[in-house]
Structure 1
């Protein structure tokens, strides 16, 4: 008889494994494993799994690095865009102020 199916008759205190007590015919019983812990029947015991609250606390204590927010990203892109437009405008103005290599007086003589 296996421990996880053994029953104690509450009327005559007989240990059995049937639905009805074989001695008195009573159906009032309690499983023996209520008082005697049965060993685990698996060959390898199941690894203990941490509860969800433990994982939640671990995530709170060491959060994964989050990327920049959407606002910060748009501000950075805007700053880069303004800098690029300013650099192009500065180069355009510098080019237009440079004196030309052709003298207007010489061009009219020819």
Structure 2
């Protein structure tokens, strides 16, 4: 025992909340067809230092589907954008253009807010 005194042992015991539970805690996202999703399109400046962005919410799709949609919307609007927590943000005020594109793709979309 005296020889192992200087070495530190890693404690391995039962843990209720392990270090890597990413698979267990991952939300199951249903991948609904576009016509069964209720999408809201809204322009806002809140928390963006006065810059207007168009936020699209209400998606119930996988991340890969949303990434493809994001790419299409960015190219159609000619501006940048991002995907945050199943919400798409497009830089600038493009409510009507995005609404038209989403309806062409089969989504049930509405303009939300004023």
TM score, norm. by length of structure 2: 0.24
More strand by share: 2
Q: Which has the higher contact order (CA 8 A, sep 6+)?
A: 2
